[in-house]
Amino acid sequence: MKYIKLSTLLVVVVIAFLAVGDTVAQRQMGGGVGITVFKDRNFKGRSATYRNDVSNLDGTGFNDEISSIRVARGEYWEVCEHADFGGRCAVVSGEEADLRKNDWNDKISSMRRVRGGMPGWGGGGGGTSNDYIVLYTQPNYRGTPTNIPGGVAWLDKTARSVTIGRGTWQLCDGGNFTGRCETVSQSIPDLRSINMNGRLASVRPVGWSMPDPTPNWSDWYIVLYSQNNYRGTVMNYNSEQRNINRRVGSITIGKGVWEVCTGANFSGRCQTLNQSVANYGIFGFGQTVRSIRPVIPQPR
């Protein structure tokens, strides 16, 4: 099976973790470490807990036979439909009682730990530090995904489906949460179902507010490092860059909220950051950054 990187066909499907769950399943978690898979829905049937990467579930009795999953608090695992992490993949957290909801029932053949936590969540008042949303340019969680932590008052993104990572969100077709807005608490495979298909101009968790009602966007800046842990060649930017083609191992967010993309002119895979990242590789985008820009535009 040909190996396919996490940076391709990534579908982020994250369901909020329930602190009080099935007591048997809790014991199977072995103190809260790893991913537990169940053959039946609602965490029933034969189960097993994995703490290490599994490149091929064939021979385990769980290949293409997983109907519900539970992930230890703070951990994130990638599950894929083919062996060796090939085919369609998703990053999961918390628990999912019925994988039919996201078209993953009896389709998992490999899985691996991605990371212990997602940096860059939150920012601003209200909501929680774990609230985030993923926008997709195509229905059914396909196309180019954009991960957004916290609220964004000026977004201007094409969105035809959304994954609600955590929280309840307000989606608006006008900037600064104006125009027509819809409040959603569950992932939506086709935004036409709520008449929101197309451009989204602002999004925010319910209860979120701008951390500074009158920010000075002109002093926002970002620092790109060629190596992990803020080492190597350093490049500072304080404005949007449409084609820079930089090798990036880590990023410091000096001030503000920034969008970082693998393609020129803000194309390819994009990540919105409001906190520094010591290892850019955790997003699975590779190490090349071609364009960057403040999420809230600077005054003209």
Domains in the chain, please, with CATH?
Answer: 10-115 (2.60.20.10), 132-205 (2.60.20.10), 217-294 (2.60.20.10)
Greater pLDDT, 45 or 102: 45
The confidence score (pLDDT) of residue 105 equals 93
Does residue 79 carry a pLDDT above 70?
Answer: yes
The confidence score (pLDDT) of residue 41 equals 93
Average pLDDT, the chain: 75
169, 185 Cβ separation under 8 angstroms: yes
Residue with the two structure tokens 């053949």: 109
* pLDDT band with cut points at 50, 70 and 90 for residue 128: very low
The confidence score (pLDDT) of residue 120 equals 31
**Closest Cα to residue 34, out of 70, 8, 62?**
70
Greater pLDDT, 13 or 251: 251
Residue 101 DSSP label: G
**Residue 197: other Cβ atoms inside 10 A:** 15
270, 259 Cβ separation under 8 angstroms: yes
**Closest Cα to residue 155, out of 209, 201, 206?**
201
Does residue 39 carry a pLDDT above 80?
Answer: yes
* pLDDT band with cut points at 50, 70 and 90 for residue 71: confident
**Residue 198: other Cβ atoms inside 10 A:** 12
Across 229-234, average pLDDT: 86
Greater pLDDT, 151 or 247: 247
